[in-house]
């Protein structure tokens, strides 16, 4: 009886040690580098590349025309990854609001107020971007100069 109890305690200690050791090793895990330059969303399943969208300026209103943006579940979203040589001082993450339809009937969306972000360089030409605020469901974009990568969180 005492031997069985001792074996159970030793087994429990080993299982707990293994669980804590994997948690410490996972904390120091390096982020994988994407294969191509661009903007990505890190989800629980890996990197998903976002398609770029052109930023238009018409009479002082800056907007994008919706171009079938990628959809992600809010629970799967972890952070953004920007890979490439970009001017990081003008990077913004913005919610998008409906502006008006174009002459052809495509919806146009204007940029909302910037969302606070933390930008951390990760090696050469790679940046991890984490919002300082909680993101809710909605239409968002990552915007640098004349390019915006738009996406939806469901």
**Residues 64, 126 within the same domain:** yes
Instruction: Report the C-alpha gap between 114 and 117 in whole angstroms.
Output: 9
Over the stretch 80-117, which tens digit does the pLDDT of each residue have? 999 999 999 999 999 999 999 988 899 999 999 999 99
Q: Are residues 72 and 3 in the same domain?
A: no
Give per-residue pLDDT as tens, 135-152. Answer: 999 999 999 988 999 999
Range of the domain at 68: 32-153
119 and 53 assigned to the same domain: yes
Please state the domain count of the chain: 2
Residue 119 three-state SS: strand
Domain CATH code at residue 90: 2.60.40
Per residue in 126-137, pLDDT (tens digit) is 999 999 998 999
- Measured between alpha carbons, how far is 95 from 57 in angstroms, rounded to an integer? 17
> Is 78 in the same domain as 2?
no
């Amino acid at each position: 009886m005492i031997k069985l109890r001792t074996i159970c305690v030793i087994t429990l200690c080993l299982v707990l040690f293994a669980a804590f050791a994997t948690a410490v090793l996972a904390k120091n895990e390096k982020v994988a580098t994407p294969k191509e330059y661009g903007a990505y969303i890190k989800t629980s399943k890996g990197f998903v590349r976002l398609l770029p969208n052109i930023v238009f300026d018409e009479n002082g209103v800056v907007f994008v025309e919706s171009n079938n943006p990628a959809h992600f579940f809010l629970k799967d979203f972890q952070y953004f990854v920007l890979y490439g040589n970009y001017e990081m001082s003008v990077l913004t993450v913005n919610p998008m609001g409906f502006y008006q339809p174009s002459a052809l009937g495509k919806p146009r969306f204007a940029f909302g107020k910037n969302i606070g972000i933390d930008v951390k360089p990760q090696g050469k030409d790679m940046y991890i971007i984490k919002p300082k605020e909680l993101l809710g469901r909605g239409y968002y974009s990552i915007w640098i100069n004349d390019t915006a990568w738009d996406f939806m969180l469901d």
